[in-house]
Structure 1
Amino acid sequence: MTKTIKLISPVDGAVYAERPVLTGPEARVAVARARTAQPAWAALPLAERIAKVQAGIAALNAMKDDIVLELAGQMGRPTRYGGEFGGVNERSAYMASIAETALAPMVAEDSDRFRREIRREPVGVVFVIAPWNYPFLTAVNTIVPALIAGNAVVLKHASQTLLAGDRLAQALHQGGVPEDVFQNVVLDHQTTEELIAERSFGFVNFTGSVKGGQAIERAASGTFTATGLELGGKDPGYVRADADLDAAVDSLMDGAMFNSGQCCCGIERIYVHESLYGAFVEKAVAWVKAQKLGNPYDAETTMGPMAHRRFAELVRGQIAEAVAQGAKSMIDPADFPADDGGAYLAPQILVDVTHDMRVMREESFGPVVGIMPVSGDDQAVALMNDCDYGLTASIWTSDAEAASEIGARLETGTVFMNRCDYLDPALCWTGCKDTGRGAALSNLGYLAVTRPKSYHLKKVTK
Structure 2
Amino acid sequence: MITTTNPADGTTIAEYARHDDGEVEARLARSWTRFTHDWRTRPLDDRTDLLERLADVLDDRTDELARLMTAEMGKPIRAARSEVEKCAWLCRHYAETAETYLAGRSIQTDAAKSYVRYDPMGPILAVMPWNFPLWQVFRFLVPNVVGGNTCLLRHASNVTGTALEIERMVAEAGGPDGLFTTLLCDHDTVESIIGDRRVRGVTLTGSDVAGRAVAAAAGRNLKPSVMELGGSDPFIVLDDADLDLAAQLAVDSRYLNSGQSCINAKRLIVAESRYEDFLDALVQRVKGLVVGDPTEESTDIGPLASEGHRDTVADQVHRTLVHRNGGEALVGATMIDGPGAFYAPTVIRDVNPEAPAASEEVFGPVSAVMSAADDDVAVALANATRFGLGAAIITGDDERGEAVAAQIDAGMVFVNQLVKSDPRLPFGGVKDSGYGRELSQEGAVAFLNTKLVWVD
In 1, the alpha carbon distance for the partners of 2:332 and 2:402 equals 38
For residues 292 and 355 of structure 1, do their structure 2 counterparts lie closer, same or farther at Cα, with a shift above 3 Å needed?
Answer: same
Partner of 2:84: 85
Answer whether contact 1:96 1:145 (CA < 8 A) is retained: no
Please give the secondary structure, in 1, of the residue aligned with 2:22: helix
TM-score normalised by length of structure 2: 0.95
Answer whether contact 2:232 2:360 (CA < 8 A) is retained: yes
**Matches of residues 377-416 of structure 1 in structure 2 within 5 Å?**
377-416=375-414
Deviation at 1:430, TM superposition (A): 1.3
Deviation sequence 1:62-114 (CA, Å, 0-9, x none)? 11111111111101111133240232133222222221112112122599x82
Partner of 1:181: 179
Partner of 1:104: 103
- Aligned with residue 164 of structure 2, among 142, 166, 181: 166
Answer whether contact 1:95 1:441 (CA < 8 A) is retained: no
Answer whether contact 2:205 2:227 (CA < 8 A) is retained: yes
Please give the secondary structure, in 1, of the residue aligned with 2:331: coil
Question: Are 2:136 and 1:138 aligned?
Answer: yes
Question: Are 2:288 and 1:277 aligned?
Answer: no
Partner of 1:37: 34
Please give the secondary structure, in 2, of the residue aligned with 1:17: strand
Please give the secondary structure, in 2, of the residue aligned with 1:31: helix
Question: Are 2:24 and 1:27 aligned?
Answer: yes
Question: Are 2:5 and 1:8 aligned?
Answer: yes
Partner of 2:433: 435
Answer whether contact 2:147 2:445 (CA < 8 A) is retained: no
- Matched to 1:252, the amino acid is A
In 1, the alpha carbon distance for the partners of 2:123 and 2:52 equals 20
Deviation at 1:349, TM superposition (A): 0.3
- Paired-residue identity, %: 31
Partner of 1:242: 240
Partner of 1:48: 46
- Matched to 2:243, the amino acid is L
Deviation at 1:56, TM superposition (A): 1.4
Please give the secondary structure, in 1, of the residue aligned with 2:426: coil
Partner of 2:93: 94
Deviation at 1:342, TM superposition (A): 5.6
For residues 332 and 172 of structure 1, do their structure 2 counterparts lie closer, same or farther at Cα, with a shift above 3 Å needed?
Answer: closer
**Matches of residues 117-266 of structure 1 in structure 2 within 5 Å?**
117-266=115-264
Please give the secondary structure, in 2, of the residue aligned with 1:84: helix
In 1, the alpha carbon distance for the partners of 2:266 and 2:338 equals 23
Greater Cα offset, 220-229 or 144-153: 220-229
TM-score normalised by length of structure 1: 0.94
- Matched to 1:17, the amino acid is A
Answer whether contact 1:124 1:201 (CA < 8 A) is retained: yes
In 2, the alpha carbon distance for the partners of 1:412 and 1:125 equals 30
Deviation sequence 1:2-48 (CA, Å, 0-9, x none)? xx111121011122122211122321221111111113112111011
In 2, the alpha carbon distance for the partners of 1:297 and 1:58 equals 24
In 2, the alpha carbon distance for the partners of 1:305 and 1:234 equals 21
Please give the secondary structure, in 1, of the residue aligned with 2:445: helix
In 1, the alpha carbon distance for the partners of 2:170 and 2:196 equals 27
Answer whether contact 2:124 2:201 (CA < 8 A) is retained: yes
In 1, the alpha carbon distance for the partners of 2:263 and 2:332 equals 26
Segments of structure 2 that go 5 or more residues without pairing to the other structure are none
Answer whether contact 1:396 1:417 (CA < 8 A) is retained: yes
Aligned residues, how many? Answer: 452
Answer whether contact 1:60 1:167 (CA < 8 A) is retained: no
Deviation at 1:329, TM superposition (A): 0.5
Segments of structure 1 that go 5 or more residues without pairing to the other structure are none
Deviation at 1:341, TM superposition (A): 8.3
Partner of 2:316: 318
For residues 333 and 405 of structure 1, do their structure 2 counterparts lie closer, same or farther at Cα, with a shift above 3 Å needed?
Answer: closer
Greater Cα offset, 376-385 or 44-53: 44-53
Deviation at 1:199, TM superposition (A): 3.7
- Matched to 2:16, the amino acid is R
In 2, the alpha carbon distance for the partners of 1:157 and 1:266 equals 22
